Chains A and B, each alone.
Chain A
Amino acid sequence: MEKLRYERPIIRRLDSEMPNKFGMRTDYRPTTQIDGVPVKSLIDKFGSPLFVISEKVLRSQYRKARKAFTTRYPKVQFAWSYKTNYISAVCNVFHQEGSWAEVVSGFEFQKALGNGVKGSKIIFNGPDKSEEDLEMAIQHNALIHIDHLEELYTLTELAERHNTKPRVAIRVNMDTGVYPMWDRFGFNYENGQAWDALNKILHSGRLELVGLHCHIGTFMLSAQAYAVAAGKLAELAIGVQRKFNHTIKYIDMGGGFTSRNTLKGAYLPGTDTNPSFDDYAEAITTALLNADFSSEFLPTLVLETGRALVDDAGYILGTVISNKRSSKGKRITIVDIGVNLMFTSFWYDHKVTPAQEFTQYTEDTTLNGPLCMNIDVLRESVSLPLLNKGDNIVVHSVGAYNMTQWMQFITLRPAVVMIDNDGNPHIIREKENLNSVNGQERIPNHLDHFEL
C-alpha cells in the first residue's frame, strides 16, 4: 500500500480574543510549477536556492506597459533600467522588445555596449559620472542626463576639449505632493535651479539640449503625482521653446511604478491597491497632451520603468531546512534563502507559497533564512501551511533589485535560470564557485605559508 503524504501534527488554541477588524493572511494555493516547469525539477537540476525568471512574463509585462502608453500618446520610447536587473539575458529580452538602455554608472554603460546597444540609444543617468565615464559617453554619442552643476561644468569643458557637442538633458526634481520628496538628485523646479541650469546650457551653446528628465520616487502608489511631474516638465520645455526657440525632443518620466508586491505595513495587498500601467499612462499622457505643445513639437515620452516590468517575472525557489519553536512557543521555519539574496524582504511582505500540495491547516510562522545573523528574516509573521523539512517554497515577485543588490556572504550566490517562451529553462547566470571569490584575492608572499 502506498504511504500517505505526511503532515506535521499541530494543535492550535482557538482565539479567545474579542472579534476585531484585522487579521492574518491565509491565501494559499501551492505553486507547483512555473510556466509549466515543475518547481521540484528545477531544484533537482539547478540546486536550491534558485532564482527563476519567466521570459513570458517579462515580455507580457513590457507589452502591457507599451500598449498602455502607445494607445494614449503618439511617441513613446522605453529604456531598460539596468540597475533593476542587469543580467544580460534579461536586458536583451527588453532590447529585443525595443527598449533602449538606461544606465547609472560606467560599469552599466559598458555592460549595455557589451550587450550590443548602440551608444546613441543609451541614457546615462546618476550623480556619479567620472570624467572617463563622460568621455566614453560623449564618444558613443549617448544621452547624458546632467545631475548637478559640477557635472555641467565638466561636460562643458570636455565638449570644448574634444570639440564636440554632447547630447544632454537635465534631471529635474520637484514637489509632486508625495512624501518623501526626492530632492537630492538633479535640479529643483520650484526654487528655479532647473530653469537656471537650462539657461546656462542654452547660453553656452556647447551642449545640445535634447531632453528633460525626472524620477519622482520609487514604488509610487499615486499615479497622480506623475501628472504633476509631467505638467512641470512640460512647462519647462515650453519655456525653453519660447525663450530660445529651441525644441526639447523628449521628456523622460523616469520610473518608480509599482509591482504587485505589498509594502510592509500596508493593510490591503499590493495586488488590490497598486496602480496599473493604465493608471500611470493616463496620468502622464493626459498631462502632456493638455500642455501647450503644438503638435509638431510634441516631445517623445521616454519611460525608464524597471521594477514594474521585471519584479513579477522573478521567483526565488528554496527548501525548508528545519522547523523550530521559539522560546515563546512560536513556530519558526528556517529555509535556505537568506536576506542577502532577498534585499527586498526589508520593505515588502513577499508572497510565499509552498511548492507542494497541503491541507487547510496553517500555523503562524516566522520565516528565517540560513544566515547566522538575527536580521535574517524573510517574513516576521506569516500564516503558512505545515511545511516539512525538505519541502520547497516559492517566493514571488523578486525580479527587481535582488539580482543586482545581492551580497555574497558566507556562501556562494545561486544560479539564475530563465524559462523561455516554450518552457525550456536556460541558465543565464551560473552558480558561483570558490573561484568567483578566491579568484579576486591576492595573498602577499609573507602570508603564503603557515604551520598549525
Chain B
Amino acid sequence: MDLISDQGLRLDGRRPNELRKIRCKLGVFNQPDGSAYLEQGNTKVLAAVYGPHEIRGSRTKALHDQALINCQYSMATFSTGERKRRPRGDRKSIEMSIHLRQALQAVIKTELYARSQIDIFVEVLQADGGNYCTCVNAATLALIDAGIPITEYMVACTASLANGETPLVDISHLEETSGGPNLTVAAMPMSGQIVLLEMSQRFHLDHLDKVMKHALRGCQEIKAVLDKAVRDHVASAGAACNWEFKTD
C-alpha cells in the first residue's frame, strides 16, 4: 500500500506536512483541579489533574524539595478496533505512564510544591495513532487549567517517512501500522528543547534530520492551536465573572 498517492496526498487526504484536525476543551470536569479533552483527528483523549495535594498513601514517598508527580495512562476497553481486555496496568500502559511522567516533569515547576503530589490521569477514548502525543498535549492543557506553573507548553508530535524519502507529520493508525518508521518527539516548542525522542524502526541516518525537523514543526503548529484554545478559555471564564476571581 502506498502511503502517498500520485497526487501527493496521504491516505486520509492530507498533504505530507499537514496535521490532523485538533479540537479541544479545557475544564470539562468539575471534580478535578484541572481537566481537558483533546481530539487529534480520530484520536480522542481525556486528561484530569488533581493537586498539588498532600501525599496519599505512605508519607515516606514525599520528596522534601519537590513535588511528586504521578501519571496514569489508560486506554478505554472500547478505544481500539479489537476490544482491549485491560484498560491499564499492562506493560505498554506502564511504559506510556513512565514516558508521560518524564515529559511532564521537565516542564512542571515541581520545586514550588515541596512535599506535595500531583496526579495526572489520561484516558484514551479512541485510539487512532499518535496516542502518546495526544496524551502529552491533553495533559499539558489539563495542567494549565489546574493553574499549575509550567515553564512552557510541552507538546508532542509524530513523524514518519513514506517511500523512503517523504517525511509525514502526525501519522494516523493506518500509517503507523503499514510499516513505515515512526518517530515520536516530545519537545518544548518555544525553546526548542527535546525531552523525549523515540523511534520504532530504523531508517537511514541521512533522513533523520529531515524527519526531526518536520516533527518539531508539527509541535510548533500544535502549540499554536493549543495556545489559542487556552486564551479563549481564560477569556471566556474571566469575562463570565467580570475578572473578579481571587487568587493570592
| Chains A and B come from one and the same complex | no
Residues on A lying within 8 angstroms of B by beta carbon are none
